[in-house]
Amino acid sequence: MQNENNPAPNGFATLCIHGGEHRDVQGGIHTPLYNHSTFGFPSTKALLDVVDGLASGNLYTRYGMNPTIRATERKLALLEGGEGALVFSSGMAAEAAVFLAHCKTGDHIVCIGDVYGGTFELLQQNLPNLGIQTTFLLGNEIDRLSSVLTDRTRIVFFETPTNPTMEVIDIAAVVKIAKAAGVLTVVDNTFASPVNQSPLQLGADLVVQSTTKYLGGHSDLTGGVVIGPQEMLNVIWPWRKNLGQIMAPEVAFLLARSLRTLVVRVRQQNHNAQAVAQFLSKHPKVKQVNYPGLPTFAGHAVAAKQMRGFGGMISFVYDGDAAATAAVVDRLRLFTIAASLGGVESLVTQPITTTHHGLTAQERQQRGIVDGLVRLSIGLEEADDLIADLKQALG
């Protein structure tokens, strides 16, 4: 699916395969794994030229100055349509580096809509220790955004679609308000992936991703990335270096391997999720289905404007209490009960038990994270098999 409001970077599938690759003298078909922590120089002058930025070269892996890491960063930047990228040891490491690098004591962040529970904790519990406060707006409160921005607001942060209620936030609308106030817009594009959505093209300043999810795609790596203009990444780079948050070369190698199949995986996940969402929307025991691809879903119109596909994540509200909902989850056979998402295998979680376990009852209620809410990460199995499994579990 194309979207003229938010087209994919030119030749997107080709970029997944060839983008950023670097073949060494041995001619291996892809960028090799340079697992080394350090790199040798023929002379002191050659080393100093690299240290002083007068010559390009590899130096030390924690700095990100490693060919495998750099090749993966180039591919990620091309896929998100950004100037550059910095990879991290996890999605949380990437987010933390953005906040630490672009805010200081006394500064202020605005977070819109539901966010991953870890992000919420970082903003609500950890950053206040450093004197960085966050105002949380609900996803339907964008009209309040200008009134909560202060002269110390540095960042407006949000996910879209959001975790786990799949709310769709209008990226261009937020960017317009934030830009007018001189505030950075940072979008967590993990749920959509760059196959389905390009926030930088809609004016966002930085994109963060947990590469643990769709980009890795096989539930076998943990990583994160920040993508955007080099000037903004240059502010983040020393934080990554000195906090030691770099992605390991083995992980960068595995991630590049996974990115080569990103398009085919995510397009099939979009297709499977649409079929599953349609099935759920007709089931008598399902009170509500949250999926941007359903025309009846509140966020559908904005999603159709800014997304090229509606993604592989669905949540639904079961007509029962927490225990009855847990019983449905426990009856599923093909879906594995697990906290993550975006892999080739379908996963299920009851957000009150995992991702949003740390929230108070009031915080959950405000966000629609009810006891009967079930989140599905749709994988690459046959859609009919997934539907049959849900049918038997829902009874």
The residues that touch ligand PLP, with contacts defined as CB under 6 A, are 90-92, 116, 118-119, 159, 163, 188, 190-191, 210, 212, 222, 224
Question: Considering beta carbons, is residue 187 or 233 the nearer one to ligand PLP?
Answer: 187
Which of the residues 107, 170, 188, 205 is marked catalytic? 188
DSSP 8-state class, residue 126:
I
Question: Considering beta carbons, is residue 159 or 170 the nearer one to ligand PLP?
Answer: 159
CB of 116 to ligand PLP, least distance (A): 4
CA–CA separation, 237 and 222 (whole Å): 19
Exposure string for 341-350, b = 16+ CB within 10 A, e = fewer: bbbbebbbbb
CB of 165 to ligand PLP, least distance (A): 12
| 114 counts as catalytic | no
List CB contacts of 356: < 8 A, sequence separation 6 or more: 117, 164, 364, 367, 369
CB of 187 to ligand PLP, least distance (A): 11
**H or E element in which residue 155 lies:** strand 153-159
Which of the residues 49, 60, 62, 176 is marked catalytic? 62
Asked whether 204 and 175 are in contact (CB, 8 A), the reply is yes
> Which residue in the shown chain puts its C-beta closest to ligand PLP?
91
CB of 245 to ligand PLP, least distance (A): 11
Strand partners, 226: 86, 208
Which of the residues 70, 74, 213, 364 is marked catalytic? 213
| 188 counts as catalytic | yes
Of 177, 38, 68, residue with least CA distance to 112: 177
Question: Considering beta carbons, is residue 32 or 118 the nearer one to ligand PLP?
Answer: 118
CA–CA separation, 168 and 180 (whole Å): 22
List CB contacts of 21: < 8 A, sequence separation 6 or more: 30, 31, 71, 75, 256
CA–CA separation, 275 and 295 (whole Å): 13
| 384 counts as catalytic | no
389: helix, coil or strand?
helix
Question: Considering beta carbons, is residue 92 or 294 the nearer one to ligand PLP?
Answer: 92
Encoded tokens for 71: 């090749």
CB of 313 to ligand PLP, least distance (A): 9
Which of the residues 34, 75, 107, 116 is marked catalytic? 116
Question: Considering beta carbons, is residue 286 or 347 the nearer one to ligand PLP?
Answer: 347
Question: Considering beta carbons, is residue 378 or 393 the nearer one to ligand PLP?
Answer: 378
**Phi and psi, residue 349, nearest 5°:** -150, 150
Question: Considering beta carbons, is residue 187 or 394 the nearer one to ligand PLP?
Answer: 187
| 151 counts as catalytic | no
CA–CA separation, 326 and 174 (whole Å): 36
Amino acid letter for position 337: I
CA–CA separation, 229 and 236 (whole Å): 11
CA–CA separation, 222 and 219 (whole Å): 8
- Catalytic residue set: 62, 116, 188, 213
